[in-house]
Structure 1
Amino acid sequence: MLEVSDLHVSYGNVEAVRGVSLTATPGRVTLVLGANGAGKTTTLKAIAGLERPHSGRVALDGQDITGLAPHKIVRRGVALVPEGRRVFGPLSVGENLRMGGYTAERSKAAETLDRVHEMFPILSERAGSAAGLLSGGEQQMLAFGRALMSQPAVMLLDEPSMGLAPAVVDSILAKVRQMADSGIGILMVEQNAEAGLDVADEVVAIARGEVVYAGPVSEARDNASVLRAFLGEAALAGED
């Protein structure tokens, strides 16, 4: 389990994340909602080691990983799929996947690759193709697969549906559900709230760097007007 407790992150004198606490549980999807500037991406970056919190704690299965270097956090079992996918365009699909497994146990690499191909058959079919030639949806699947190659216990997904055609969004988020059902804890930032709610188990809403709602999807749906108010308030903040 990933546990984030009272996390604070600042950029100079501006506090972007103000005491955020949340969890990501094996086999479950925790959806993080909030408008641009709410602090969602900064929270993920701090968990992944790309931003250093000035206070608070990030723990994986009880072990403190706060402020570790990103590659060490990946080795511990936390993988980030960044906004915009960021695949290595000139490299082949197969090479991208191998890059994703550089911190993982080599003895399990072939088995992990087989599981990735089983979950995303298109990646096997396009193994020799340049990643930059894939469609947006295929690149998102590659970004998922690359993260899975590190054999993570927890995956941090930043806006996985961004820039994708509506017809593709449902299939991409169905893959998120499938990854969770395989036993991985998923912490997902997603601007498409309705689509995200369809695959999530838990919801955390962040406004102005603070958690303003946390609870199960069933309660979030019952309080849709409250969530909309939170998102509207968050829209008054600056950028992530």
Structure 2
Amino acid sequence: MLEVSDLHVSYGNVEAVRGIGMTTSPGKVTLVLGANGAGKTTTLKAIAGLEKPHAGRVVLDGKDITGLAPHKIVRSGVALVPEGRRVFSPLSVGENLRMGAYVADRTKSAEMLERVHEMFPILSERAGSAAGLLSGGEQQMLAFGRALMSQPTVMLLDEPSMGLAPAIVDSILAKVRDMADSGIGILMVEQNAEAGLDVADDVVAVARGEVVYSGPAAEARDNASVLRAFLGEAALTGPGD
């Protein structure tokens, strides 16, 4: 279980994250919603060790991982899939996947690769192709697969639907649900609230670096007026972060 409590992150004199708290557990998708600049990506980066919080705690399965170096956080079981996918374009699909396993238990890498290919068959079919030649949706699957190769217990997903054709978004987010159903805890930032709510178990809404709503996804969907109050009408109609 991942527990984030009273997290504070600043850029110079500007406090971007002010006391945020959220959790996710095995098999659950926790959806993080908020307008541009709300502190969503900064929160994920702080959990992943890419930003240093000046207060608060990040605890994974009872172990405090707050502020550890990124590679140590990956080794502990947390994998970040960044906004924009950021695959290694010149490398092959297979090489990208192997890069994801650089801190993982090597004795389990072959088994994990098989699981990744089962979940994303296109990655097996395109194993020798350059990652930069894949479509946007295929690159997002590769980014998921690369993160899975680190054998995580928790995955942090930053805007997985960004830049994808509307016809592809539902299938990509369905893969998020599949990953959670395999036993991984998912913390997902997603501006497309309508699509995100379809796969989420819980919702955390963030505004101005603070949590303004936290509860079950079904409750959030039933209270659309609450979402509109702090996210705006666009949050229920599509991306635009």
TM range (shorter): over 0.9
Aligned residues: 235
**Amino acid corresponding to residue 62 of structure 1 in structure 2:** G
2:178 aligned counterpart, secondary structure: helix
In structure 1, the residue matched to 2:238 is none
2:21 aligned counterpart, secondary structure: strand
Partners of 1:230 and 1:63 lie apart in 2 by 33
Spell out, residue by residue over 1:144-201, the C-alpha distance to the aligned partner (whole angstroms, 9 max, x if none): 0000000000000000000000000000000000000000000000010000000000
User: Structure 2 matches for 1:221-236, cutoff 5 A?
Assistant: 221-232=221-232
Aligned CA RMSD, in angstroms, stands at 1.2
Partners of 2:5 and 2:54 lie apart in 1 by 12
**Amino acid corresponding to residue 180 of structure 1 in structure 2:** A
User: Structure 2 matches for 1:40-189, cutoff 5 A?
Assistant: 40-189=40-189
In structure 1, the residue matched to 2:191 is 191
Partners of 2:198 and 2:222 lie apart in 1 by 14
Partners of 1:204 and 1:17 lie apart in 2 by 14
Does residue 12 (structure 1) correspond to residue 12 (structure 2)? The answer is yes
**Where does the alignment leave 5 or more consecutive residues of structure 1 unmatched?**
none
What is the TM-score normalised by the length of structure 2?
Answer: 0.96
**Amino acid corresponding to residue 106 of structure 2 in structure 1:** R
Partners of 1:225 and 1:44 lie apart in 2 by 26
Does residue 23 (structure 1) correspond to residue 17 (structure 2)? The answer is no
Spell out, residue by residue over 1:199-227, the C-alpha distance to the aligned partner (whole angstroms, 9 max, x if none): 00000000000000000011101211111
**Amino acid corresponding to residue 44 of structure 2 in structure 1:** L
Deviation >2 Å, runs of 4+: none
2:232 aligned counterpart, secondary structure: helix
Partners of 1:218 and 1:171 lie apart in 2 by 20
How many Å apart are 1:29 and its aligned residue?
Answer: 0.2
Partners of 2:162 and 2:213 lie apart in 1 by 23
Which deviates the most, 217-226 or 158-167? 217-226
1:42 aligned counterpart, secondary structure: helix
How many Å apart are 1:232 and its aligned residue?
Answer: 3.4
**Where does the alignment leave 5 or more consecutive residues of structure 2 unmatched?**
236-240
Partners of 1:16 and 1:146 lie apart in 2 by 29
What is the TM-score normalised by the length of structure 1?
Answer: 0.97
2:194 aligned counterpart, secondary structure: helix
In structure 2, the residue matched to 1:208 is 208
**Identical columns (%):** 89
Partners of 1:82 and 1:228 lie apart in 2 by 26
Partners of 1:232 and 1:95 lie apart in 2 by 41
Spell out, residue by residue over 1:105-139, the C-alpha distance to the aligned partner (whole angstroms, 9 max, x if none): 00001000000000000000000000000000000
1:57 aligned counterpart, secondary structure: strand
Spell out, residue by residue over 1:3-53, the C-alpha distance to the aligned partner (whole angstroms, 9 max, x if none): 000000000000000000000110000000001000000000000000000
